[in-house]
Amino acid sequence: MDLSANARTVLEKRYLIKENDKVIEQPEDLFRRVAANIAEAETLYGNDNPEAVAEEFYQLMVSMDFLPNSPTLMNAGRELQQLAACFVLPVEDSMESIFDSIKNSALIHKSGGGTGFSFSRLRPHNDRVKSTGGVASGPVSFMKVFNAATEAVKQGGTRRGANMGILRVDHPDILSFITAKEDNSELTNFNISVAVTQEFMAAVGQGKDYPLLNPRTGEVVATLSAKMVFEKLVDSAWRNGEPGILFIDYVNADNPTPHIGEMESTNPCGEQPLLPYEACNLGSLNVANFILDGDIDYSRLGRVVKTAVHFLDNVIDMSDYPLPEITEMVKNNRKIGLGVMGFADALLAMGIAYDSSEAVEKAKEIMSFIQHTSKEASAALAEKRGAYPNFTGSRDHQQGGPPLRNATTTTIAPTGTISIIAGVSSGIEPLFAVCYHRNVLDNDRLVETHPRFEESACQQGFYSQELMEKVARLGTVRGLPEVPEDIQNIFVTAHDIAPQWHVQIQAAFQQHTDNAVSKTVNLHHDASREDVARVFMLAHQLKCKGVTVYRDGSRDGQVLTLGEDKQLQVTEQGIVPRPRPEVTTGRTEKIKIGCGNLYISVNSDEIGICEVFTNTGREGGCASQSEATSRLVSIALRSGISVESIVEQLRGIRCPACIRRPGIKVTSCPDAIARAIKKNGSQVSSAGIPLQQFATAGSTPDAGCPECGQPVKFESGCAICLSCGFSRCG
């Protein structure tokens, strides 16, 4: 297997089996383990030779033609054996149902899954509670309880719990829901989306009011201006990317089993609408692996699609679901979701620009083929194994279609970590970067260059290390005179692409996908609210099932909590250091330096170390240099930079006066300052909280990864680390 350094890092950190924190499994062993486990389902259908199927599944994965979702890679063949990623739980309008859902979501998070909820059935804030004579607290209040419960549960030791919260646009609490994540410290374990109806969108276009319905009684309790609500949605999404929009009527128009129930919610990244208690097993085809003579090799892709459908159907039988209600629903509908990754890389290999009509048509062509072939494979499985139990009465059954093994077969899911393993672009997203800087050992920075761009640069004679550094710094090749125009047109990144092309690509895939499409419409920082509104309207016009926008840097204005009643403000201009407190306590240390003595005072307040002062003795010394160093250190401390990072930068700096003089134990004045700071609290950040906790507080798309500090990209409704695979959505 030809794995990149990043791929090995992700596998070792998140997937390979460990004992006492030591990795005891190789990547090839992982794929053998998963293949053998999933092939065991063959014995349920009379196949007494599962080994041959296991080999077929192994080749499917080890070739990187297809990879299943993360829970399958992590848990197949292990004690947990929970293989599904997506779940939806009901939230009915009673205290018992609410807390049952909290308990059940905790079990799902513990097993490695993410959960979606519709809070639309809950009575609104201040509505009457007959049993107690009191008033209801409303959906947003209960979402905070769900959020707190999620915070307390670590998913299988490798994935943090993630939720989707949905509220219908005609719920009386819709305005408070839209602004529920205005403060980025609220509902940190939730993505939120508004379920928008056709009636609402029509009212927006006509400038009319629309009714709000009390879900407890079904009665109209008020009306609102649809245009005003839409503008609030746009404003909130412009500010920080949430809420997204779910076109709930489009979702239910494609519900394969309307006789079983109505779709109300999706999984955390929005690509999988599900019935209550339903789950779905996902996997992705690496379409970049199927380029032959400048186009897609559909013959080979067809064979792989059929094997992948077989694999995912087996996953249903091999998974241990966390609740009996889920087991029943899953096995009655047997939904699978086959999607793609490496789409942007496939376009590059075919010489097609992502932001072009040719790319839109190619997206339709690829997904139409996958959809058609996956249905054929599901029908073939139904002949051998039987149709899914709820097929009779399903939409396909009513339309006279052949019996199918699976109620759905296709989904376009985010592929943050599995695309790193495969070494390709994520899902159907464009390239995040042509070149970017990656930190390595000893704080060195290396330029990571897209291999196809490097190959093109070498072949056409414009490669230079200086150019790669420049591209990494600028984030784009467009407008660079050193890069030929045809290369500029093809090697586009998410922020080079006009918003309408993002939406058109999403719609092209949605046209041939059973479930939904996870994708982010990336916008420049200076994009207007009108730009966001146009995206929402175009997504509705092109019949996307949902849409999420993210304006670059829109979460820079977050407030990071550093301690009790203490906050650090981050603005568009950068971090604003917290003010120097009026009273501090500390200690002063005398340290011998090459020029005499240096007196270093390290002071703290109730949060942590906040300032450093230096004075030189009578012998003199570099007083101005030491003062400048201490001032900069003080600002860094009050800006939330960890003590450990500051010490690392200062220690070991060498000064000839210190090195040449016998008996001096420091190498320079900065080195002396580093030693004094370290003595006063190297185990806490300047905010007085553990370093790991501080990093997590800042884990937004506009900050580095909280686990490894590497670049983080925002795609498919989630923040994903390029290096270690960390994801805010699990």
* Active site residue ranges: 267, 269, 271
Burial group, residue 410, by CB count within 10 angstroms (0-12, 13-18, 19+): buried
58/76 Cα distance (integer angstroms): 13
The single residue listed with the structure tokens 């997206």 is 363
Rounded to the nearest angstrom, the gap between the alpha carbon of residue 190 and the centroid of all alpha carbons in its chain is 11
With the C-alpha atoms ordered 291, 292, 296, 301, is the resulting torsion angle positive or negative?
Answer: negative
Burial group, residue 348, by CB count within 10 angstroms (0-12, 13-18, 19+): buried
Rounded to the nearest angstrom, the gap between the alpha carbon of residue 5 and the centroid of all alpha carbons in its chain is 21
In our burial notation (b when 16+ CB lie closer than 10 A, e otherwise), range 599-630 reads: ebbbbbbebbbbbbbbbbeeeebbeeebeebb
Contact 634, 615 (CB under 8 A): no
* ∠ Cα 253 174 555 (to 5°): 100
In our burial notation (b when 16+ CB lie closer than 10 A, e otherwise), range 470-496 reads: bbbeebbbbeeeebbeebbbbbbbbbb
602/677 Cα distance (integer angstroms): 6
Of 560, 640, 577, 572, the C-alpha closest to 608 is 640
83/97 Cα distance (integer angstroms): 26
Of 409, 429, 162, the C-alpha closest to 280 is 409
Task: Tell how strand 66-68 and strand 279-286 pair up.
Answer: antiparallel
According to DSSP, residue 344 is labeled H
Secondary element (H or E) of residue 210? strand 209-213
Structure tokens at 495: 């922020």
Rounded to the nearest angstrom, the gap between the alpha carbon of residue 610 and the centroid of all alpha carbons in its chain is 34
Contacts for 572 with CB less than 8 Å, ≥ 6 apart: 553, 556, 557
Contact 461, 472 (CB under 8 A): no
| Single-letter amino acid code for the residue at 192 | I
Contact 492, 475 (CB under 8 A): no
Contact 426, 416 (CB under 8 A): yes
270/631 Cα distance (integer angstroms): 47
Rounded to the nearest angstrom, the gap between the alpha carbon of residue 148 and the centroid of all alpha carbons in its chain is 20
Structure tokens at 649: 């930068």
Rounded to the nearest angstrom, the gap between the alpha carbon of residue 177 and the centroid of all alpha carbons in its chain is 22
Burial group, residue 420, by CB count within 10 angstroms (0-12, 13-18, 19+): buried
CB atoms within 10 A of CB 178: 22
Structure tokens at 397: 């059954």
Structure tokens at 179: 């602004």
In our burial notation (b when 16+ CB lie closer than 10 A, e otherwise), range 133-143 reads: eeebbbbbebb
Contact 380, 388 (CB under 8 A): no
